[in-house]
């Protein structure tokens, strides 16, 4: 039914489904989406992609009507005309610019005049959205509206279904224990070449092809256009690429090869965040991926144990404790860290809850993307 005071005949409530990584939220959304009656228009979109579309529309309207033009009503009306039912996967708010425009668009979409129905999945309960964000008080009315106009459901599951063992396709190459990637470079290069040729079905590659994203060129080092792209990790994550860039790359290339993925350092959080953003885009696009990496992924997001004197410096920077008191604990912890336990609680690489969720999601998705089931799906070129 409607929002409570309006009586029968108003728009039904939407759904806000939240829970831990891999508990089945997206699967349930997809099942819901497939049952929407044909007389209703519908749209399912990853929330990153939705916000990129909103910002693009916002930019175009300001270009046309000037900076003082209020774009929110026009954007919301256009979205409502395109779909009666909207499904947002991985709903999250971490950026003040997103929060400020999103609160007005959702307010308009859920108003009786527009009557949109929204299904959202999220890792966060509604009250935890945009936690500690800039000007969060301005976003709270939007949270209250979402709660009022949605059936809020917590999906509790002890199992991450994406991590259930499946036959591996061998798409991820790591050196044997005790060796580095440089020690087995010929085998690593052969692995990357084998998967590139498999994905391209023998088509001849092109080099330094420009992909234009919002009018800005992004160079693809090696590719078969519309089929497969290959990057070194440095080419993919050390450039100043955004979520929009990664979404367009994975939309244009259904297969991706990434080589030379290093251990990810506590000193390079931006690089790590870009890699996680890319993985989100690749997963949402259904991209098939082959990689060569320094370590298996569950051990990739930590540093090698630093030299004794370097450890003291890192510990002092991270924990604000003195090196003499913190060093033994830190060194022991560095030896014992693993993905399932200490790493997510560590402050060394991930400074906030959103980053920990993103990290957990990335590792879970990598497991699924390595599966035989994932790679046997049809590729739509």
pLDDT at 366: 83
Q: Is the pLDDT of residue 356 over 90?
A: no
Using alpha carbons, list the distances in angstroms from residue 271 to 182, 262, 263, 359, 366. 21, 11, 11, 13, 17
Residue with tokens 């910002």: 55
Q: What is the pLDDT of residues 148-190, one digit of tens each?
A: 999 999 988 766 656 655 444 588 999 998 898 999 999 999 9
- H/E stretch holding 173 reads strand 172-173
| Tokens encoding 358 | 């993103």
The closest of 146, 72, 84, 171 to 376, measured between CA atoms, is 171
Average pLDDT on 280-304 reads 81
User: What's the CATH number of domain 14-155, 3.30.565.10, 3.40.50.1820, 3.40.50.2300, 3.40.50.300?
Assistant: 3.40.50.300
φ, ψ of residue 93 in degrees (nearest 5): -130, 115
pLDDT at 322: 32
Using alpha carbons, list the distances in angstroms from residue 227 to 10, 63, 371. 46, 34, 20
The whole-angstrom separation of Cα 194 and Cα 255 is: 13
pLDDT bucket at 306, cuts 50 / 70 / 90: very low
Strand partners, 119: 15, 87
Residues 6+ apart with CB under 8 A from 93: 99, 102, 129, 130, 133, 139
The whole-angstrom separation of Cα 314 and Cα 362 is: 25
φ, ψ of residue 227 in degrees (nearest 5): -125, -65
Hey, how many other C-beta atoms are within 10 angstroms of the C-beta on 34?
Answer: 9
Q: Which residue has the higher pLDDT, 328 or 13?
A: 13
The whole-angstrom separation of Cα 1 and Cα 319 is: 51
Q: Is the pLDDT of residue 284 over 50?
A: yes
Average pLDDT on 310-333 reads 36
Q: Which of 255-264, 315-324, 360-369 has the lowest mean pLDDT?
A: 315-324
Q: Concatenated DSSP letters for 196-258?
A: HHHHHTTPPPEEEEEEEETTEEEEEEEEETTTEEEEEHHHHHSS---HHHHHHHHHH-SEEEE
Alpha helices in 83-238 (DSSP H): 96-109, 136-148, 185-200, 233-237
* Cβ–Cβ < 8 Å for 249, 216: no
| Tokens encoding 320 | 């604000």
Mean pLDDT, the chain, as a whole number?
79
Residue with tokens 């090196």: 323
pLDDT at 354: 62
- Bridge-based pairing of strands 228-232 and 216-224 is antiparallel
Q: What is the pLDDT of residues 205-242, one digit of tens each?
A: 999 999 887 778 899 999 998 889 999 999 999 998 98
* Distance, C-alpha 44 to centroid of its chain: 16
pLDDT at 125: 93
Using alpha carbons, list the distances in angstroms from residue 274 to 107, 281, 344, 347. 31, 11, 18, 19
Give the predicted TM-score (pTM) of the model.
0.56
Domain ranges of the chain: 14-155, 163-302+337-375
Q: What is the pLDDT of residues 51-92, one digit of tens each?
A: 889 999 999 999 999 999 999 999 999 999 999 999 998 898
Q: What is the pLDDT of residues 95-149, one digit of tens each?
A: 888 899 999 999 999 998 898 999 999 988 999 998 888 889 999 999 999 999 9
- Bridge-based pairing of strands 117-122 and 14-19 is parallel
Using alpha carbons, list the distances in angstroms from residue 279 to 61, 98, 124, 243. 31, 21, 20, 10
């Amino acid at each position: 039914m409607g929002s409570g005071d309006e009586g029968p005949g108003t728009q039904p409530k939407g759904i806000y489904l939240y829970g831990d990584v891999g508990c089945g939220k997206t699967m349930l959304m997809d099942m819901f989406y497939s049952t929407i009656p044909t007389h209703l228009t519908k749209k399912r979109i990853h929330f990153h992609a939705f916000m990129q579309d909103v910002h693009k529309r916002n930019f175009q309207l300001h270009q046309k009507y000037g900076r003082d033009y209020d774009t929110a009503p026009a954007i919301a009306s256009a979205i409502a005309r395109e779909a009666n039912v909207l499904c947002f996967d991985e709903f999250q708010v971490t950026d003040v610019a997103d929060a400020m425009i999103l609160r007005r668009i959702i307010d308009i979409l859920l108003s009786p005049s527009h009557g949109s129905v929204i299904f959202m999945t999220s890792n966060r309960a509604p009250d935890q959205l945009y936690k500690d964000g800039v000007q969060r008080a301005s976003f709270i009315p939007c949270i209250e509206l979402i709660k009022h106009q949605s059936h809020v459901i917590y999906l509790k599951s002890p199992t991450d279904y994406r991590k259930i063992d499946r036959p591996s396709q061998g798409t991820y190459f790591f050196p044997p224990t005790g060796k580095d990637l440089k020690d087995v470079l010929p085998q690593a290069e052969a692995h990357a070449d084998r998967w590139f040729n498999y994905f391209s079905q023998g088509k001849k590659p092109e080099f330094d092809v420009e992909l234009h994203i919002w009018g800005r060129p992004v160079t693809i080092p090696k590719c078969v256009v519309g089929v497969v792209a290959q990057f070194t990790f440095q080419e993919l994550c050390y450039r100043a690429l955004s979520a929009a860039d990664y979404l367009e790359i994975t939309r244009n290339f259904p297969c991706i090869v990434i080589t030379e993925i290093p251990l990810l350092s506590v000193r390079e959080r931006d690089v790590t965040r870009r890699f996680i953003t890319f993985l989100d885009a690749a997963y949402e696009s259904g991209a098939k991926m082959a990689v060569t990496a320094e370590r298996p992924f569950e051990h990739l997001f930590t540093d090698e144990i630093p030299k004794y004197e370097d450890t003291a410096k890192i510990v002092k920077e991270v924990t604000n404790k003195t090196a003499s008191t913190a060093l033994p604990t830190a060194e022991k912890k560095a030896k014992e860290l693993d993905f399932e336990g200490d790493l997510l609680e560590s402050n060394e690489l991930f400074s906030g809850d959103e980053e920990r969720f993103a990290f957990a999601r990335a590792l879970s998705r990598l497991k699924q993307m390595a599966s035989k089931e994932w790679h046997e799906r049809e590729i739509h070129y």
